Amino acid sequence: MAAEATAPLLVERFAIQGGDYEHGGDAAARIKVIMRQLGIDPDLMRRLSIANFEAEMNLVMYAEEGVMEFQVHADALRVIVADRGPGIPDIELAMQEGWSTATPEMRARGFGAGLGLPNMKRNSDEFEISSTVGTGTTVRYAVHLA
């Protein structure tokens, strides 16, 4: 991808375990701490943090395991979330607000409203998702630095 042709200035990777609600949110929180240390604009930091938390909870709820990679580039903050899991059969459907395959347990924990993926896109300047049923899903998104 052209956007990733230049090497990032900083890369941090966070392992995320499917079903681990106890730590669901830790990666997003740690990335926010890094962004605050870097002096990222608060609005930008909020947008990327929301996208990260949505992505992290999606992974916790649906996948077996995965990694969230945070990259700092001169012109953008990029995140790649790749999981090993069931995959998404119909991405177009999954991107519709309100469409969800959440279980009652996920909803009882405050998630699964079918807003996560579209909200990640809404809070990003770039967003792409690819998925293979039975293998896993990879989501890439970025916010542009002014």
Partner 1 sequence: MRLSEVADLLQCEVLLGEERLDSIEVRTCFAADLMSDVLRFSHSGALLITGLTSLQSIHTADVADLAAILFVSNKIPAQATIDLARAKQIPLLRTWRGMFDACGVIHCAGLPRAVEV
CB–CB of 131/139 below 8 Å?
A: no
> Residue 13 contacts by C-beta under 8 Å, 6 or more apart in sequence?
67, 68, 69, 70
List residues near partner 1 by CB under 8 A: 21-22, 24-25, 28-29, 32, 42-43, 46, 49-50, 52-54, 57, 107, 109-116, 119, 122
C-beta closer to partner 1: residue 4 or 109: 109
Task: Name the residue nearer to partner 1 (CB basis): 4 or 69.
Answer: 69
Q: Say which DSSP state 68 is in.
A: E
Least distance from partner 1 to the Cβ atom of residue 31, Å: 9
HSE-up (13 A, CA, CB side) for residue 144: 5
Q: Residue 39 Cβ, how far from partner 1 at the closest point, in Å?
A: 16
Closer Cβ to partner 1, 73 or 109, answer by number? 109
Measure CA 18 to chain center: 14
For the bound state, the minimum distance from the C-beta of residue 105 to partner 1, rounded and expressed in Å, comes to 12
Return the closest-CA partner of residue 85 out of 132, 121, 15.
132
Between 73 and 122, name the residue whose CB sits nearer to partner 1. Answer: 122
